[in-house]
Structure 1
Amino acid sequence: MHTPAVIAHRGYAGVAPENTIAAAVAAAEREGTAMLEIDVQPAACGTPVVFHDERLDGTREGRPVTDASGFVWETPLETLESLSVLGTDEPIPTLSALLEAVPETVGINVELKNPGTADLRVGESLSADARENRRELWRPFVERVLEGCAAFGGELLFSSFCEGALAALRDASDYAAAPLVRDDLEAGLEIARRYDCEAIHPPRNAVLGTSLATEPYAGPSAAEPEIDVVETAHEEGRAVNVWTVDSWLQFDELAAAGVDGIVADYPRLEAGTGTGPAR
């Protein structure tokens, strides 16, 4: 059976403190890891840092993500670098520091999470006027991210839920790009076509013909999708990388459906040996 590329979600967030250098290095060293997925947004000074949530005071299964509060983009870089991620000794890293620490033999999927605003247009295919407005909103941050990535010699793939981020990226570089899709597959495909994206990243329950397609997750609904995103994307020459998987059973179903990459919270799911949460 076809084995999709394994993309370590936030550095395998199921077994390590997410989006930290320790998680990234450990994930890169694991057999079978093709790519790391990380999230970037700016500190108050504009420096790209690797962190998922807009705010510092979120939780993971009841544990605080950090020992601070407030928006990431309003927090000084020095403060961010001093924080503890999920009660460990690992701080929030800058994008440059994380890329310096990982080997260039593993690819990096950089998710452009937020340019420093609570006013995001997530998952929308925008009108021409709105696209231009959002392109300019994202441009300064995207340029800073590209500066941070310049020294990395490995494969880079940029993704985002926000069309403005992809528009700014396409203006500034020819790196591979992918729209992240949540609940509107047609909008995601439209964005992929508009920017000639190399891939599209739908949620796991957006893949037609799997039992996952009827589960309540992040996709359109708990009903089979009307669009066969795998078939459509492949016909158009795009890869399909699905997020986020936490069991080998899910991995096997998606592999059988022909997806190209799977974003996973746990390592070794492709071999049926990963340790996911109890079912």
Structure 2
Amino acid sequence: MSESDSPSAPGVIAHRGYAGVSPENTIAAAVAAAEYDETAMLEIDVRPAACGTPVVFHDERLEGPRDGRPITDAEGPVRETALEDLRAARVLGTGETVPPLAELLEAVPETVGVNVELKGTDVPDLDLRFGEALAADDVDERRAVWEPFVERVVADCDAFGGEILFSSFYEGAIAAVREVGPAYAAAPLVWGDLEGGLEIARRYDCEAIHPPRNAIRGVPMAGEAYAGLSGNGPECEEPEVDALEVAHDEGRAVNVWTVENWNQFDALADAGVDGIVADYPGLGSVRSNGG
């Protein structure tokens, strides 16, 4: 969700097209996720193929692990793989392949929003500064690194008539979105540094911020070790900064990731978050059914 209006129920964001039940980041997953009435938005990951075409894939490499098995039957870095070879790579033993962003957007209805997470560029062996708020002297350089790829992503998104929300763990990517596609909503993803994520949101007047599920005060997961935020066992402390309160005070939506069961969903909904990134459909049904 891209603006904070304190809804009574959070919007459900299908993580990689509900990766818990479908082959993640594929056209089949996106289409199936869009068919659920509860789905407000799809969440997908994009990075470039060897030719620079934006493709929908999470990991840097095609053989990245998923529950003890490779994500595809191919190998090598995505950014070094030809588009035709990506089209032939089978995802998680299914007939689904790695799709170009443009083809996935063509396949889903414009009534469902799409959260496009920017995962990488075609620049090899460069530290993109994951999860960091950049020093002022570094911003222009990092933005320039991201701009060529972001231009291609924005061009594909321009053809989609539904809502688009860009997100990234990289400040350089957020800066490039504001330069290339200023009309689109943007959100920094938070890893380990809540204050840094809030600062990035301020710098670019972002419509939303995306903290992990353990970053919200008052929920059972608060303070647990997850997504770069350390916990201290059963007596773990809650986050020092109230990211939900601060973001809402500043007019930003708070979309929390990634939820795996209905208990987590219910707790975050009660806390007042605006969107919940979920691996499974139906996690809000217990809440909506009153028990």
**TM-score range with shorter-chain normalisation?**
over 0.9
Distance in 2, matches of 1:179 and 1:229, equals 13
The unaligned stretches of length 5 or more in structure 1 are 274-279
| Alpha-carbon shift at residue 142 of structure 1 (Å) | 0.1
Answering whether residue 106 of structure 2 is matched by residue 97 of structure 1, we say no
| Alpha-carbon shift at residue 219 of structure 1 (Å) | 4.3
Give the CA RMSD over aligned residues: 1.3
| Alpha-carbon shift at residue 221 of structure 1 (Å) | 1.4
Residue 24 of structure 1 aligns to which amino acid in structure 2?
Answer: A
Query: Which of 172, 179, 190 matches 2:188?
Result: 179
- Asked if structure 1 preserves the Cα contact closer than 8 Å seen for 2:223 and 2:229, the reply is no
Number of the residue aligned with 1:189: 198
Number of the residue aligned with 1:237: 251
3-state SS, counterpart of residue 165 of structure 1: helix
3-state SS, counterpart of residue 272 of structure 1: helix
Number of the residue aligned with 2:272: 258
3-state SS, counterpart of residue 212 of structure 1: coil
Number of the residue aligned with 2:224: 215
Residue 227 of structure 2 aligns to which amino acid in structure 1?
Answer: A
Distance in 1, matches of 2:74 and 2:208, equals 36
Q: Which moved more, 1:205-214 or 1:155-164?
A: 205-214
* CA-to-aligned-CA distance 1:78-105 (integer Å, 9 cap, x gap): 1001100011000000000000000000
| Alpha-carbon shift at residue 159 of structure 1 (Å) | 0.2
Number of the residue aligned with 1:127: 135
Q: Which moved more, 1:43-52 or 1:127-136?
A: 127-136
The unaligned stretches of length 5 or more in structure 2 are 1-6, 232-236
Distance in 2, matches of 1:188 and 1:150, equals 27
Residue 136 of structure 1 aligns to which amino acid in structure 2?
Answer: A
Query: Which of 236, 240, 264 matches 1:226?
Result: 240
Give TM-score scaled by structure 1 length. 0.96
Answering whether residue 86 of structure 2 is matched by residue 77 of structure 1, we say no
3-state SS, counterpart of residue 214 of structure 1: coil
Distance in 2, matches of 1:219 and 1:198, equals 23
Residue 237 of structure 1 aligns to which amino acid in structure 2?
Answer: G
Give TM-score scaled by structure 2 length. 0.92
| Alpha-carbon shift at residue 272 of structure 1 (Å) | 2.4
Residue 108 of structure 1 aligns to which amino acid in structure 2?
Answer: V
| Alpha-carbon shift at residue 129 of structure 1 (Å) | 1.8
Query: Which of 186, 192, 204 matches 2:213?
Result: 204
Query: Which of 47, 54, 57 matches 1:48?
Result: 54
* CA-to-aligned-CA distance 1:109-137 (integer Å, 9 cap, x gap): 00011112442211111012211110000
Which is bigger in relative contact order (C-alpha 8 A, separation at least 6)?
A: 2
Distance in 2, matches of 1:159 and 1:213, equals 23
- Asked if structure 2 preserves the Cα contact closer than 8 Å seen for 1:41 and 1:115, the reply is yes
Using the aligned pairs only, state the percent identity.
69
